[in-house]
Homo-oligomer: A and B are copies of this chain.
Amino acid sequence: MNIVLSRDSQVRIMENTVANAEKYFGQFCTLMASYARKTAKLRDKSDLLVKQLIDYANTENPELRSTMKNFAEELAKVQDYRQAEVERLETKVVEPLKRYGIQLKQTQAEIKRFNKVRNNEIKQLEKLERLRQKSPSDRHTLSQAESNVHKASVDASRTTQQLEETIDEFQKQKLKDVQKIFSDFVTIEMVFHAKALEVYSSAFQNLDDYDFERDMEDFRARVHIASGNYDARPVSATNPSSALPWSASSQSVRSTLQRQEDSEEDSDENVLQDFSNPEYAQIRR
């Protein structure tokens, strides 16, 4: 195998190695960055859920209120761990992959530099060839051209050696980095899953401890206090004027009715905002 062709084949291996790394590491970088962003979106959605759980807790009786608040806090903790996961993915996975972009550019520049030196060798060889055909007897010019070819060949050989070292170092670093980056990814994910499992175990216990009977007692008491002792039912139609004080004020009856209509309107609005919003309609299909 001759030198220039073998160098050509070698340089193609190098170019392919770098181009391949560029292609896949670029994609890994994009995908990992995207994975981190999707994780951040899941965190955002969970944060909203935490907020709604706390709002809801505040509208409920003490037992459920405390259960829901506790659950919201545990859910918030998981989001803190998710946030740490996102940050770690960015610094230990996405950033190193990005640095690859820079390293690749340097290696590509070295390959280009080598190709320039190698092209010079070919140019000198072509020049020598032309001289041989045009003026085969011009000893002086031929000798000069041969000397140029020699110089260009020495340069090309030296650059080839340098490039070989560069590509060897590049490949070594790449393999180590592949292992490191994906091991870091796995470690980050393991830490997150372990922490989430721990927090959810505690959240489960807390939900399991919820005593709904106590809340029902509170609720029943509230409804019965509001309803007064109507079970005694002093039906008063036989003597309405004494038992039914609205006779003194039909205004108060009207305002009661008015309020009732308002409250029905509010209720309808809630339907529109919540159970009838497009997102809800979408998931119902």
List A residues at the B interface (Cβ < 8 Å): 1-15, 17-20, 22-35, 38-39, 41-42, 45-46, 48-49, 52, 55-56, 59, 64, 67-68, 71, 78, 94, 98, 101, 104, 108, 112, 115, 119, 122, 125-126, 128-129, 132, 146-147, 149-150, 153-154, 157, 160, 164, 167-168, 171-172, 175-176, 178-179, 182-183, 186-187, 189-190, 193-194, 196-197, 200-201, 203-204, 207-208, 210, 212, 215-216, 219-220, 222-223, 226-228, 230, 233-238, 240-241, 243-247, 250, 253, 256-257, 260, 263-264, 266-267, 270-271, 273-275, 277, 279-280, 283-284
Contact = CB atoms under 8 A, between A and B. Distances in A.
B164 A183 contact: no
A210 B46 CA distance: 37
A146 B238 contact: yes
A115 to B, nearest CB: 6
Contacts of A277: 26, 30
Contact of A246 (B4, B10, B238): B4
Q: Is the interface of A mostly helix, strand, loop or mixed?
A: helix
Contact of A49 (B9, B35, B157, B235): B35
Contacts of A150: 235, 237-238
B253 A125 contact: yes
A24 to B, nearest CB: 4
A235 B157 contact: yes
Number of copies: 2
5 contacts: A10-B226, A28-B56, A33-B283, A125-B246, A193-B193
Contact of A15 (B160, B263, B280): B263
Contacts of A240: 125, 128, 146, 149
A53 to B, nearest CB: 8
A66 B59 CA distance: 56
